[in-house]
Amino acid sequence: MMKGKNVLLLGAGAMGALAARTVSAFDEVASLTVASLNRSDAEKVAVRCPGLARAESVDVTDHDALVGFMRQADLVLNCVGPFFRFGPPILQAAIEAGVDYLDICDDPEPTRIMLDQDAVARDAGVTAIIGMGASPGINNLLGACVHDRLDTTDLLVAGWNIEEKTDDALEFSAAVIHWMEQCSGTILECRDGSLVPGRPLLDLSIDYPGRGRRTIYTVGHPEPVSFHSSWPDVRETHCGMVMPSAWIGGFRKYRDAIDAGKMTLEQAGRDLVAEAAKSDWIDVLLTALSRLTDGPRLPLFFVLGTGRGDGREKTVAASLRATPPDMASMTGVPLALGALLHLRGQTAGAGVMAPERAFDPDAFFELFAPYCTLPRPCPARELVELVEA
């Protein structure tokens, strides 16, 4: 029987806690170390893990200490954000330590920086898989399902939906600040086969097979970057938010205020949360009315691709028929399952890569299905919904 491995999880927030509880239960994991700057935070996570888990304190900004700490592990899972600050240096430490690595990076710029370390990681014999959460992560593997069904791909659009309800409440957090960052400034997209700066919150019209045409709104995210890296033949890549058209004016006001230096990311995030909490019946009515005219409802996560297949112009879309009930589970569980696939030897080899290059999507969704309970459980063979036009 294969000997279990020692796993180090950095970060003790909501995403890290879910990943820790999930991964510590696997037979392939002999021990789990949960590490945070504040040891008490790590202890709160470790004590709830079903497997052998312990807590440690670590300062990820102390490079030499971090490298030495990592050398005690067989695999590092990184949940320390924001990734624009901590992603590249923690990956660099893992490569120097010679230990394999997964993270949930959700920022496009560090995604590009880390993907550029592919050759360095391969030379060190290190496998590093970045963006193994929900979006990115689940969406990347849905992208692989789409790309596999097209002979040539002209366009890939990754979408995530903020008008469909989950069990999450909007609260001020680092995630909200990140959201404001990706709705302002410039974003990375692929056009004419090259990564270029784009503007967030622009209209993006898509025709979803079997549902119809809908306008979504561009947003900064890693999928356009990783799709370009994994499939450089794809001519155009975007990420888009699905929301009622009644909301887009407010988001654009935050974008313009941030870009003009009138609001910080934190101020915009706090204001967004406050406005959402005090929405009155007029806001609710306007939202309901806009939904009547905006077009079809779209899945919570999806990827749509256009190109050629079967000798004709073709559009393919992939989504999930069920998901975990909240964002912590939708992010932490995929990270843990990515770790499991890697420990079972089911990754693509050494180097820095996105999930669509690292994993077989069928193998991932087979493991993921039991965690998908919203709106109801779904068998693994039916979890991914593929539609074509």
User: Global pTM?
Assistant: 0.94
The predicted structure's pLDDT at residue 51: 86
pLDDT tens readout for residues 312-347 = 999 999 999 999 999 899 999 999 999 999 999 999
Residues with Cβ within 8 Å of 289's Cβ and at least 6 positions away in sequence, in order, are 246
Tokens 């097979």, located at residue: 209
* DSSP output for 215-284: EEEE---SHHHHHHHH-TT--EEEEEEE--HHHHHHHHHHHHHHHTTSS-HHHHHHHHHHHHHT--HHHH
Q: How many CA atoms lie within 13 A of 14 on its CB side?
A: 11
Name the burial class of residue 6, with classes exposed (0-12), middle (13-18) and buried (19+) by CB atoms within 10 angstroms of its CB.
middle
Q: Which two tokens stand for residue 92?
A: 């660099």
Compute mean pLDDT per 10 residues along the chain, 389 residues long, and list them: 85 96 97 97 96 95 97 97 93 98 96 98 98 97 98 97 68 82 96 96 98 97 98 97 92 97 95 80 58 86 97 98 94 98 96 98 98 95 98
DSSP, collapsed to helix, strand or coil, labels residue 299 as coil
The predicted structure's pLDDT at residue 131: 98
The predicted structure's pLDDT at residue 283: 55
The predicted structure's pLDDT at residue 171: 75
Q: How many CA atoms lie within 13 A of 246 on its CB side?
A: 15
Distance CA 231, CA 308 (A): 15
Q: Any bridge partners for residue 356, and if so which?
A: none
Distance CA 66, CA 63 (A): 5
End-to-end CA distance of the chain: 47
Q: How many CA atoms lie within 13 A of 316 on its CB side?
A: 26
Where are the alpha helices (H) located in the chain, listed in sequence order?
Answer: 14-23, 39-46, 63-70, 83-97, 108-115, 118-124, 138-147, 174-182, 223-230, 245-259, 265-277, 281-294, 327-343, 355-358, 361-368, 380-383
Distance CA 271, CA 198 (A): 25
Name the burial class of residue 76, with classes exposed (0-12), middle (13-18) and buried (19+) by CB atoms within 10 angstroms of its CB.
buried
